[in-house]
Structure 1
């Protein structure tokens, strides 16, 4: 890693406003039948999604790339305040289903005129390149989330 890289360079913040009530946006983050519908970048498909949404509960999911490569992720829920806040760890898995570098994700949901302001934060990445890749991936997920919310 480049020693000139600072911690702020390895943090990600994305804000989005969704045309849906906060309770619904929170729901699609916490129920596997909904989460799996928008999880993954453009053209990816969630092929597995297991969630035990409680403090200390684990989630594990797999997204498949258009080329057919499976990417497994896992984490532990650290804080759940329905419908305001989710905090959980995030790690990609290695070929033996063990977590690789772990980051902490915090998602907050604010009601604004029957819309929802979502603030997504993830840190601390191993590198700015990893942060940038996650920025692209999550941004595409949130595009899919916006579309999915209009369908509900």
Structure 2
């Protein structure tokens, strides 16, 4: 059944505001999910290449928050804030991500973790409030390449855990 005109228009609009990045990771889904949900793991891989992360506070539960600073390779600090809006282990996490709790430009992300043979297919689907904010994220902050690098860092991290027999 085809979408109505209104539904098709809404889909096109959402697509203009969205970034979708996925990757297969050679690790069990439960481990990939854990690496995304425990601060001891997140601080080891989160962010694009050359970035480090300092966590101020972290509470992983619906309504909980992760307040952190990403440190760029050029020395620039980026204030970041995430609130978890849905947690369905080990399948899905939804969150709101901005610079602070009251950031009017905060964006929504849904991360899914699907079995892919012995690997895990992770997909990050990010929806921005406007097409302009999405375009700015892509052009000014290199969000697509940064997202790919972030998932690459995650893949390398969990692959190393598997190689070392499960200790992170």
TM-score by length of 2: 0.79
- CA pair 90-28 structure 1, distance change in 2 beyond 3 A: same
- Aligned Cα root-mean-square deviation (Å): 1.9
Distance in 2 of aligned mates of 1:39 and 1:135? 15
Distance in 2 of aligned mates of 1:50 and 1:137? 23
Q: Does 1:73 align with 2:80?
A: yes
Residue 121 of structure 1 aligns to a residue in which SS? strand
* Partner residue, 2:118: 114
Q: Does 41-50 or 51-60 show the bigger shift?
A: 41-50
Pairing of 1:85-104 with structure 2 (within 5 A): 85-93=92-100, 99=103, 101-104=105-108
CA drift of 1:100 comes to 5.0
Residue 59 of structure 1 contacts residue 76 of structure 1 at CA under 8 Å; is this kept in 2? yes
Q: Does 132-141 or 9-18 show the bigger shift?
A: 132-141
- CA pair 49-149 structure 1, distance change in 2 beyond 3 A: farther
Q: Does 1:58 align with 2:65?
A: yes
- CA pair 30-49 structure 1, distance change in 2 beyond 3 A: farther
- CA pair 49-26 structure 1, distance change in 2 beyond 3 A: farther
Residue 123 of structure 2 aligns to a residue in which SS? strand
CA drift of 1:61 comes to 1.5
Size of the aligned set, in residue pairs, is 145
CA drift of 1:10 comes to 1.9
Point out the structure with max Rg over C-alpha: 2
* Partner residue, 1:36: 43
Distance in 2 of aligned mates of 1:7 and 1:87? 17
Residue 129 of structure 1 aligns to a residue in which SS? helix
Residue 10 of structure 1 contacts residue 131 of structure 1 at CA under 8 Å; is this kept in 2? no
